Each structure stands twice: as structure tokens, then as C-alpha cells.
Amino acid sequence: MKIDSAAGEFEFDLHDLKLADDGIILSGKMGVWEAETTMTDADLRRVIRLVLARPGAWGYLLRAVLGARKAVKQTGAAQ
């Protein structure tokens, strides 16, 4: 993921996802720093609402999922 902010542009390299009482914790590195963010239930509902409100996002997600499945099948077939 890429994060653009007033402090600059940073890559967020996601390493782990954990479930906690207060939400989903995403851990990784942002630039050279270890980073962690928590997505609350309200955050997740907001993301889902935003995606559902934009049909173009559905196509993007569908292509991303199908592309990932296709890549896994091709990798599996090559082994």
C-alpha cells in the first residue's frame, strides 16, 4: 500500500493481520518504521459502504480476486 501525507510518500508493507477486541490490527513497515493501525468495526463498515456505493470498485475487487486466483492456479500448474 502507498500512503501519501504532508510528511511525504511512504510504502506500507503489510506483514500481519490480527483480530482484537477493538478491531482488526494491521502490522507492517511504513518506510523504515515499524507501524501498526487498528481498523475498528465502524472503519470496516465505512470501507464496505464506500465500496458498495461505487460499482467501479466492485469490478476492481473482482478482477483483483480473480487475478490472484488465476495466478495461484498458474503457479500450481507450473510446479
CB-based contact 15:1 (threshold 8 Å): no
Phi, psi of 56 (to 5 degrees): -60, -30
Residue 74 pLDDT greater than 70, yes or no: no
- The model's pTM is 0.63
| pLDDT tier at 60, thresholds 50, 70, 90 | confident
CA 37 to each of CA 9, 22, 34, 40, 64: distance values in angstroms, whole numbers, following the listed order = 17, 11, 11, 10, 23
pLDDT tens-digit readout, 10-59:
888 999 999 999 999 999 998 888 999 999 999 999 988 988 898 888 88
Residue 77 pLDDT greater than 60, yes or no: no
